[in-house]
Chain A
């Protein structure tokens, strides 16, 4: 598996991007952080759109150092931008052919057209496409370049909720099937939680974490000042089926979670982000409560956050879960490491966005 070596020192009006890391590439690596952290700039440096920032190497290939510079079109990377950036003077089919012809093919393979369900769109003008359709074309067009690395710069940010749901499964299947490493810039915790196998956390130009998604997200989530995100925990689950009354059933090491929202077909892996403040605790299994999800858990640690609040780290059948409750409740329920209790997840906490 190839890796990406970055030694970057770039002064930007909003941040000082300073990175010296070797990033192993596999699956989807999310470049995650608040806006103004330098995520998109980092991606543009990797793509070759920004020059002179330092040293960039992919595997044993140096893309940029003090002397050498491999221009973007020779890097064999595909970039999917926030806006689809389709060529307005060409129809959909010609947009695809543009990428295919420059990469040793004559036309887009039918398999790819089927995969992104583009058949009915081929003759359309790009301006007649909806946002989701356009981004599907952009994804297919990027894949036609036979890239060794795919860069995605917040490809869902310009889409509404429904359109996002249309694109997300395509990115997931790309991650799981295509075996092309993906670098994915996002400031949306739910998106990263759902998609990332690995996370590079960036804050004000500096790497604040690099590692498996669950680990980094949990870390990042408790760090103070992490704008736009909230403390919480990541649960890796799998769709196990649908209930008769229309709920989606997700299984994970700590039990079963139900959600009114369809999360995918049976067997599909799902990542859930549970905000700490959406977890309530009870010493005995509560009765007469409207919450769907009540999971047995054991308290691992109790950390006071401020005068009033405390964070409780829970072990839920091997999955770490965080709850944020008042210190008064900690005292009232007599919660301490080793306490067996029940975690109540509010349904809303399971939303993807």
Chain B
């Protein structure tokens, strides 16, 4: 086993962590809006947000590939700002993963905000807290479990991404060769030893993450019952 064998693992973890962090920030206002709006646009936005759940990753990947092309507006903009193309780059993977994992962030957060209701925010406002202040000091802490669920699901889901990466990222070591791609290639080249190693790690990691989530949820339930 060479040190290069584990490179896809580190790349994948880096990608998942970055995507989770960005989505927590971007998903919060979107989920908040969806939880509180009375706009007629809400179902449209909700459906768009949920699309990655039902769409084959190859379809999402196909459209992203078109958008990332240096002759398309997004691809062109990225190229002029960073000097790199979005296709077959880590940056492109991040953007693709943001879309791909969006529902796993938005849905738990939206559910948490809906359950929270308006009451705590109104109480905070009546104590002179501005909306942002009230969100950070009251709503967010009270929705901590929603955030935990959203973060874990987003992270775990990004870990296992395959189809979209294959479409827009390809298989460039250190850049877009994430763990699922690496395993696929190792199996194709009949390198079962390497495939075992990475698969085992991914299996254990995913299980550990989900176990932690359910254990925390269970503990919370027990405390609530007390």
Which A positions have Cβ atoms within 8 angstroms of B? 47-49, 71-74, 76-79, 81, 83, 85-89, 98-99, 102-103, 141-142, 144-145
Which B positions have Cβ atoms within 8 angstroms of A? 118-120, 122-131, 133-134, 137-138, 141-142, 144
Query: Do B130 and A73 have beta carbons less than 8 Å apart?
Result: yes
Known: A71-B130, A81-B123, A98-B129. 10 other contacts (CB 8 A): A72-B125, A73-B126, A73-B129, A73-B134, A74-B128, A79-B122, A87-B124, A102-B127, A102-B129, A145-B128
Residue in A83, A86, A89, A142 whose CB lies within 8 Å of B126: A142
CA of A280 to CA of B137 in the docked complex: distance in angstroms?
59
Query: Do A49 and B129 have beta carbons less than 8 Å apart?
Result: no
Query: Do B127 and A71 have beta carbons less than 8 Å apart?
Result: no
CA of A144 to CA of B120 in the docked complex: distance in angstroms?
17
Contacts of B137 in A (CB 8 A): 98
Q: Determine how close the nearest CB of chain A comes to the CB of B117; give it in whole angstroms.
A: 10
Contacts of B120 in A (CB 8 A): 85, 87
Which 9 pairs from chain A and chain B are nearest by CB? A85-B123, A79-B126, A72-B125, A99-B127, A102-B128, A89-B141, A73-B125, A73-B128, A73-B130
Query: Do A87 and B126 have beta carbons less than 8 Å apart?
Result: no
Query: Do A71 and B125 have beta carbons less than 8 Å apart?
Result: yes
Q: List 10 A-B contacts (CB under 8 A).
A: A73-B124, A81-B119, A81-B123, A85-B122, A87-B138, A88-B142, A98-B127, A98-B129, A141-B127, A142-B127
CA of A47 to CA of B121 in the docked complex: distance in angstroms?
13
CA of A72 to CA of B134 in the docked complex: distance in angstroms?
12
Query: Do A49 and B122 have beta carbons less than 8 Å apart?
Result: yes
Residue of B131, B133, B137, B144 ringed by the most chain A CB atoms within 10 A = B137
Q: Determine how close the nearest CB of chain A comes to the CB of B137; give it in whole angstroms.
A: 7
Query: Do A145 and B125 have beta carbons less than 8 Å apart?
Result: no
Residue in B119, B126, B133, B141 whose CB lies within 8 Å of A72: B126
CA of A309 to CA of B125 in the docked complex: distance in angstroms?
52
Instruction: Say yes or no: A99-B119 contact (C-beta < 8 A), given A87-B142, A88-B142, A89-B141.
Output: no
Q: Determine how close the nearest CB of chain B comes to the CB of A53; give it in whole angstroms.
A: 16
